[in-house]
Amino acid sequence: MQIDKSLHIPLYRQVEQILEDKIISGQWEVGSQLPTEQELSDRFDVSTITVKRAVIELVNKGYLFRQRGKGTFVSGAAKEQDLNSIISLSTGAEQEHPHEMISFKYETAGSEIAQKLRIDPEDEVIKIERLKVENNDPLALEYTYLPADKCQGLTPEMINNDLIFNILKNRFHIALKRARVFIRPYILPDHQAKLLHVEPGTPVFEWERTTYTKQEDIIEFSKFYIRSDKEVYYTEVQL
């Protein structure tokens, strides 16, 4: 592994390109661990800061992921997801939706959530925190808020391995009309990174979703933090 310091290309870009080529060519297999930043620094004869920046760029591209306390690893191919199908309110009944419950509680809405749900701050909401998992690997961290008076009797057992949309429609017979979704970049703080098994500071997708009934009442507000090394989104337009 060599770089050319006489070139006008930044050193971190040269390191990034060499590492990317090794991943794409299969020299470094999916799941394999990279040498430490100090080892790469010695091999390239550059600073660890240069190596760190190259690695961060590859993490942002989805080629690598950093696991807390273990190191940096080669990512598998990110799953392609159609934005239209994800945002759609319909899901197949035969589909499985594995989740791991973190917390489930009834609490006072407070001003921020009350504003999101268009209810009074003193009203009761159901707060659900859980992980979406696949092959025992966490893919997304989910925070969901539901108005308690619209979902009376809801328990953690009722939502095991199912989507909130399905619960609202099939168990509470709520007619859903539309969902509004915002997608933003987000940098994970320590406690969320730990839950998703990545390093603090890892960039992820933040999805913020508000769901409306046929009567235009807000029935659900959720935030999702989705690992960017596991999901890639696309949309297709008919021309």
pLDDT digits (tens, 9 = 90+) for 91-111: 555 566 788 999 999 999 999
Most confident range (mean pLDDT) of 23-32, 51-60, 214-223 is: 214-223
In a domain, 70, yes or no: yes
Pair (37, 111) in one structural domain: no
**Strand boundaries in 14-78, DSSP class E:** 64-67, 71-74
Within this chain, do residues 193 and 83 fall inside the same structural domain, yes or no? yes
Q: Which residues pair with 161 in a beta bridge?
A: none
In degrees and rounded to multiples of 5, residue 209 shows phi and psi of -125, 135
Q: Are residues 23 and 102 in the same domain?
A: no
pLDDT in tens, 64-76: 888 777 888 887 6
Same domain assignment for residues 68 and 85: no
Total tally of structural domains belonging to the chain: 2
Confidence at 56, pLDDT banded by 50, 70, 90:
confident
Distance CA 56, CA 64 (A): 8
Same domain, 173 and 212: yes
Look at 210 and 88; give whichever has higher pLDDT: 210
Residue 220 has pLDDT above 70, yes or no: yes
Residues 63 and 133 in one domain: no
The verdict on 28 and 52 lying in the same domain is yes
* Domain end residue (candidates: 31, 52, 74): 74
Q: Rounded to an integer, what is the distance from CA 198 to the centroid of its chain? A: 11
Q: CA-based angle 156:162:164, to the nearest 5? A: 80
Q: Whose CA is closest to 151, among 168, 127, 175, 170?
A: 168
Q: Can you tell me the mean pLDDT for 157-182? A: 90
**What is the mean predicted confidence (pLDDT) over 110-122?**
97
Q: How far apart are CA 225 and CA 164, in angstroms?
A: 16
Indicate if 85 and 153 belong to the same structural domain.
yes
Q: What is the pLDDT of residue 76?
A: 65
CATH number, domain containing residue 141: 3.40.1410.10
Instruction: Kindly report, residue by residue over 185-201, the tens digit of the pLDDT.
Output: 999 999 999 999 888 88
- Same domain for 85 and 191, yes or no, is yes
Q: Does one domain contain both 135 and 99?
A: yes
Q: Which domain holds residue 111?
A: 79-234
d(CA 230, CA 137): 10
